């Protein structure tokens, strides 16, 4: 640690320069990257696990930096100007110019990039061009809908997929297996918004058990909130459940052919007992991987479902922001999702290394 600090002092002045008003950030980030780099290359007294973690952390930060660059400049290249969009077709050119100044759009792209990244590091995502409220607040409001919805859908999909997958695996080749496989084939093929429309038709318009859409708000109580998320969660969950059930089934079938399963059977366990005690645990690795992937898909990919059920979630925010060219909102939401995915990967990498020491010495 001592070395780290003296290293900071040596490099600090060297790397301090100003872009926008984010002087210290640039300096600290550059410093951090340098120290991580040198530190992770130092072979001597640093334990391999720490060194491995630092390397992963360095790659995490670099990935985020590259992602932020790509996201910012790709979105900025798209044709369309938020100020013209706001003011419509009767506005005079000087009015548009005045609004561009008010929004800070007259500054150079690089200054805005530095401002954006610098702000994000401090938890400030900037101010929306159209809504004129802090982006961070907007995103967190929307996450209160999108996150529970994703979790709800994931739980439903697991609750459907596990029994279905296990049942199909245990009756391989029989009618039950065929039925489950047929149903999942359909579930994979049919898009979730079609389920959504059918559910609305049956449960909202005909039976009146649910509202056709909208979100009651958590302030109306947990049940009211969950009630309004039920149809969207089911329509999101069905295709995911179909995928998950198929993965579950094939993972179990793979395991059933393993030596240790034969040993378990030889020990005197029935086929079903062996499946439950030994098969299921081992089949969980691919299944959990898929669940992890599905969660990030559900969080980011509910755009259409949020439109169909007019839910005030993250997907709808992005949708509105893109059409209004509210670039800073789009950039920040995308960045947040990238951050979530990269961080989860980072944690998974660390978890693998913790479990499997051989990984620590690999680069």
Partner 1 sequence: MSLKSLILAASSALALTAGAAVAKDSIIVAMQLEPPHLDPTSAAAGAIDSVLYSNVFEGLTRFMGDGSVVPGLAKSWEISDDGLTYTFNLQAGVTFHDGTTLDAGDVKFSLDRARAEDSTNAQKALFADISEVTVVDPQTVKITLAEPNGSFLFNLAWGDAVIVAPESIDNIKTNPIGTGAFKFANWVQGDRIDLEKNADYWGTPAILNSATFKFISDPTAAFSSVMAEDVDAFIGFPAPENIPQFEADPRFQVLVGSTEGETILSINNKQAPFDNVLVRQAVAHAIDRQSIIDGAMFGYGTPIGSHFAPHNPAYVDLTGNSAYDPEKAKALLAEAGLADGFATTLHLPPPSYARRGGEIVAAQLAQVGIKAEIINVEWAQWLETVFRGKNFGLTIISHTEPMDIGIYARPEYYFQYDNKGFQELMADLNGTTDPDKRVTLMQQAQTILSEDYVNGYLFQLAQLSVAKAGVQGLWTNAPTQAADLTAVSWAD
Please report, as ranges, the residues that interact with partner 1 according to CB under 8 A.
78-82, 84-92, 94-95, 98-99, 101-102, 130-133, 138, 141-142, 197, 200-201, 204-205, 208, 211-215, 217, 307-313, 316-317, 320, 322-326
Are residues 142 and 313 in contact, defined by beta-carbon separation less than 8 angstroms?
yes
Of 164 and 200, the one with the shorter C-beta distance to partner 1 is 200
Of 78 and 285, the one with the shorter C-beta distance to partner 1 is 78
Of 145 and 168, the one with the shorter C-beta distance to partner 1 is 145
Of 80 and 163, the one with the shorter C-beta distance to partner 1 is 80
Q: How far is the CB of 105 from partner 1 (least distance, A)?
A: 12
Q: Which helix or strand (DSSP H or E) is residue 24 part of?
A: helix 23-41
Instruction: Print burial letters for 130-154: b (CB count within 10 Å at least 16), e (below 16).
Output: bbeeebbebbeebbbbbbbbbebbb
Of 2 and 206, the one with the shorter C-beta distance to partner 1 is 206
Q: How far is the CB of 84 from partner 1 (least distance, A)?
A: 5
Of 80 and 191, the one with the shorter C-beta distance to partner 1 is 80
For residue 342, give Cα distances in angstroms to 37, 62, 93, 294, 339: 19, 11, 43, 15, 5
Q: How far is the CB of 155 from partner 1 (least distance, A)?
A: 24
Are residues 161 and 290 in contact, defined by beta-carbon separation less than 8 angstroms?
no
For residue 28, give Cα distances in angstroms to 37, 53, 63, 316: 14, 20, 17, 36
Of 98 and 359, the one with the shorter C-beta distance to partner 1 is 98
Q: How far is the CB of 204 from partner 1 (least distance, A)?
A: 4
Q: How far is the CB of 107 from partner 1 (least distance, A)?
A: 17
State residue 127 phi and psi, 5-degree precision.
-115, 135
Q: How far is the CB of 86 from partner 1 (least distance, A)?
A: 5
Nearest to 181 by CA among 197, 164, 196: 164
**Four-point Cα dihedral 258, 260, 265, 266, nearest 10:** 120
Q: Which residues pair with 216 in a beta bridge?
A: none
Q: How far is the CB of 332 from partner 1 (least distance, A)?
A: 15
Q: 104: which DSSP letter?
A: T
Are residues 195 and 234 in contact, defined by beta-carbon separation less than 8 angstroms?
yes
Q: 219: which DSSP letter?
A: G
Of 91 and 359, the one with the shorter C-beta distance to partner 1 is 91
Q: How far is the CB of 29 from partner 1 (least distance, A)?
A: 32
Q: Which residues pair with 127 in a beta bridge?
A: 134
Burial class from Cβ neighbours inside 10 Å (0-12, 13-18, 19+) for residue 191 reads exposed
């Amino acid at each position: 640690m001592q070395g780290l600090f003296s290293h900071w002092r040596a490099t600090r002045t060297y790397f301090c320069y100003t872009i926008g008003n984010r002087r210290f950030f640039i300096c600290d980030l550059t410093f951090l990257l340098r120290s991580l780099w040198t530190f992770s290359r130092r072979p001597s007294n640093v334990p391999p696990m720490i060194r491995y973690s630092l390397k992963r952390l360095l790659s995490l930060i670099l990935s985020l930096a590259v992602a932020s660059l790509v996201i910012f400049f790709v979105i900025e290249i798209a044709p369309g100007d938020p100020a013209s969009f706001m003011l419509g077709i009767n506005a005079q050119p000087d009015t548009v110019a005045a609004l561009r100044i008010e929004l800070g759009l007259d500054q150079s792209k690089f200054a805005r990039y530095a401002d954006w990244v610098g702000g994000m590091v401090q938890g400030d995502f900037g101010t929306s061009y159209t809504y004129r409220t802090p982006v961070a607040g907007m995103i967190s409001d929307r996450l209160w809908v999108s996150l529970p919805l994703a979790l709800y859908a994931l739980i439903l999909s697991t609750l459907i997929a596990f029994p279905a997958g296990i049942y199909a695996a245990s009756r391989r080749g029989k009618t039950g297996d065929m039925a489950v496989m047929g149903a999942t084939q359909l579930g994979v093929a049919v898009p979730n918004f079609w389920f959504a429309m059918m559910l609305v038709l049956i449960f909202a318009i005909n039976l009146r058990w649910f509202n056709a859409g909208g979100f009651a708000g958590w302030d109306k109580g947990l049940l009211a909130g969950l009630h309004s998320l039920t149809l969207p969660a089911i329509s999101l969950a069905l295709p995911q459940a179909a995928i998950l059930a198929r993965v579950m089934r094939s993972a179990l079938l793979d395991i059933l052919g393993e030596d240790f399963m034969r040993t378990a059977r030889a020990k005197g366990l029935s086929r079903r007992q062996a499946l439950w005690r030994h098969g299921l645990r081992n089949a969980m690795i691919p299944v959990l991987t898929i669940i992890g992937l599905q969660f990030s898909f559900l969080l980011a990919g509910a755009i259409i479902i949020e439109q169909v059920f007019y839910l005030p979630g993250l997907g709808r925010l992005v949708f509105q922001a893109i059409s209004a060219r509210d670039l800073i909102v789009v950039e920040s939401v995308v960045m947040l999702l990238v951050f979530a995915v990269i961080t989860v990967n980072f944690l998974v990498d660390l978890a693998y290394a913790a479990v499997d020491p051989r990984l620590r010495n690999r680069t």
